[in-house]
Amino acid sequence: MSHLLEKLNQAQKQAASHMDGPFVVFAGAGSGKTRIITTRIAYLIEHGVRPWEILAVTFTNKAAGEMKERVEAICPEAKRATITTFHSACARWLREFASELGFQTNFSIYDDSDSNKLLKKLLKEANPKGDIPNLLADMKSFLHIVKTNGYFPSDVERLHQEMSHLIPIGGVALYRRYQEELANCNAMDFGDLLLNVLLLLRRNKTVSDILSQRFRHVLVDEFQDTNRTQFEIIRRLSERHGNLFVVGDDDQSIYSWRGATPANIIDFQRTFPGAKKIALEQNYRCSGNIVKAASTMIAKNVNRAEKTLFTEAHEGDSIDLHIESDGEMEAWWVINSIKQERPNFPYDDVAIFYRTNSQSRSLEEALRRENIPYTIFGSVEFYDRMEIKDILAYLKVLVNPNDAISITRIINTPTRGIGAKAVETIERETKSRKLPMMDVIRQLADEKIPRVSPKFRFFVDLMDALKKDLLGRPLPEVIETLLEAIEYPEYLKKKFPDQYIDKTDNIHELGSAIADFAKREPEATLDDWIQSITLVRDRQDLDTVSGVSLMTLHMAKGLEFRRVYLTGIEDGLLPHRNSVEDNQQLEEERRLLYVGITRAKEKLSLTGASRRRTFNNYVVNSPSRFIAELPQETLNVSFAAKQVLDAYRADDEQPDEEYFEHTQEEYSYEPEPEALEKGSSVSHPTYGRGVVEGFETKFGQTKVIVKFYDFGFRKIKASQLNAASSSLDY
């Protein structure tokens, strides 16, 4: 037996040592799926497969980097294998075969901002008096659907037959016009990177033969997240040799809104008759109670491959279930628990998950109030910031002069007196003369049009000089030289005096990024760097995070933490109110909770609130229906949670407002009592004994925040509290 298989369990060995033919691995959460893929790549090479005949694809740059690093550690020859993301692989092939599609090899890749700008322009042309924001949203949604499902503008009949209810008015014609404009700009959007490769595989026998012959073995990670376009690309790439090896977990398919199709993995053996299957069911990440709770709950889903997650780890702590009176008190309970447990769980080991971004506000406020460091994931990405996009637009035009979207961004940035009307003239003439936009600007500059021609001439001469200077420079010098040439720092200082330092810091960080890239890839060009950062859409690197991590459940997939708080376990949030009427969507909500639970390695708390404030009103939420699906023996139900659950069980409906009069006092504020301070022991006629944890002042009035022994946190009028003996141990 190969030494590569020595540390694998029996199921892992069977998967990693498979040689030929289609094979699907259902890898449960924490079952070591990445080890399977890396070991298999090394095993194939050890058994005579040439590294360059191996293609392994996944979804994020971070995951691809980790896979590459791990496989090269055990098999240095694997550095010649292609281990990458779907989008990076397709971008590489499109550079190679661009001419087959009528593109130049230096085509631009449009991000969402670039795509939106082009779509707005086309929508205004087609419907000048229309509601552009709503039309744009509808069109973006339509384009996402058609491109993830492999529809081209020429598929008019299929589109109307299969998704007529999803097509906006004029949507198919605008789709065709949008694709034509992209081609005129020598540009593709993110969806096109996949769609155009699929077009080549479907229609171009030469390219199809080259790519399918090139890769004898194709491996796919996170196969449950593939959409129909990705699935067909993979199927066509592997059909010559038939060696398709996929790993995934349908129980973790939570991206249907991105087009992910769990049926791709569930029905794998129907699609590929004779395919072998194995399930990796042993979890190596979580404690026994966490695994038991997750496995029992997810078994309630009907549309799934049969498997049962188990672990040989000890049971560990029970899962805390706690329900507070409102969202703010829930946040206080979580943050107080984090503080108390800090000796066992440092802040860097702790994560707080929530279903929607709006839930983070009360958590952030409580963390800041207690001076607890934290990082929130999902904020505006670095490469989407205004000043970064400005600099990148200049560089994109230098590499691809036909990039009309980037040209319109920079032609008057910094300000050169080329206003909106002048830009409209350029766009109109570009359309009329059927020439690339930069060529039209050159012509207009020569036509001596009063007031504008000199400004156009200045811009054209500037870009020519920049191209001559910058494209011959070492990459680390490019940005600094560009900034000086266009006087961008002066522009920022004048236009954004209050944000000048932050924006300048961001540009310096961009300079660091290109210098780091040049160090890693000494032979790379400016075009290579632009492509590398355009394709980067990964979340922040957890290795650089300090403090508690806050993120949505969707962001949490693929991560793990020693200590996890999963908040908002309420109907309306989890499952989300938009999903409760549809069985398929409800099953995805259950999978989402499953993903959250299985991120916790050692300890997990599930928390909720009886009601949440929305503007000036409260919304009453019942406890999540998923709570009843968790094995009771795995839970540690707080007294407060038990009261709420009992109230719902008794009435089988939402308690009326009288219930809340007994679980939380109405908010009214009195001055902070001099006799009370943080740590004071107090008693309350309804809640009993507790300890003062702090004071909250709003609108000049103060309430006491008390942690009661039996009821958790409450905000209480000082007049209702009495001093108590401090002998109780909390």
Write out the binding residues for ATP.
27-34
Which residue in 186, 179, 192 sits closest to 91, CA to CA? 192
CA distance 116 to 168: 16
CA distance 633 to 318: 8
Which tokens is 18 given? 């498979």
The catalytic position among 216, 599, 611, 689 is 599
Which residue in 545, 469, 479, 488 sits closest to 517, CA to CA? 479
Which residue in 48, 58, 103, 117 sits closest to 83, CA to CA? 58
The catalytic position among 12, 13, 33, 665 is 33
CA distance 178 to 201: 22
Q: Is residue 221 annotated as a catalytic residue, yes or no?
A: yes
Write the secondary structure of 178-224 as one string of H (helix), E (strand) and C (coil): HHHHHHHCCEEEHHHHHHHHHHHHHHCHHHHHHHHHHCCEEEECCHH
CB 227 within 8 A of CB 261: yes
CA dihedral 112, 117, 121, 122 (to 10 degrees): -10
Q: Is residue 387 annotated as a catalytic residue, yes or no?
A: no
CA distance 319 to 136: 45
Which tokens is 101 given? 């599609």
Q: Is residue 267 annotated as a catalytic residue, yes or no?
A: no
Q: Is residue 34 annotated as a catalytic residue, yes or no?
A: yes
Sequence-ordered list of residues with C-beta below 8 angstroms from that of 664, at least 6 positions apart, any chain: 325, 326, 329, 610, 714, 715
The catalytic position among 53, 114, 192, 222 is 222
CB 28 within 8 A of CB 309: yes
The sign of the dihedral angle between the CA atoms of 17, 23, 29, 35 is positive
447, burial (CB in 10 Å: exposed 0-12, middle 13-18, buried 19+): exposed
Taking each helix axis from N to C end, the angle separating 386-399 and 475-486, rounded to the nearest 10 degrees, works out to 110
Q: Is residue 155 annotated as a catalytic residue, yes or no?
A: no
The catalytic position among 58, 226, 252, 607 is 252
The catalytic position among 221, 232, 390, 527 is 221
For the beta carbon of residue 290, count every other beta carbon within 10 angstroms.
31
Which residue in 16, 608, 632, 656 sits closest to 280, CA to CA? 16
Binding site members: 27-34
Q: Is residue 328 annotated as a catalytic residue, yes or no?
A: no
Per-residue DSSP letter, 149:
T
Which residue in 297, 241, 310 sits closest to 21, CA to CA? 241
Q: Which residues are catalytic?
A: 33-34, 221-222, 252, 599
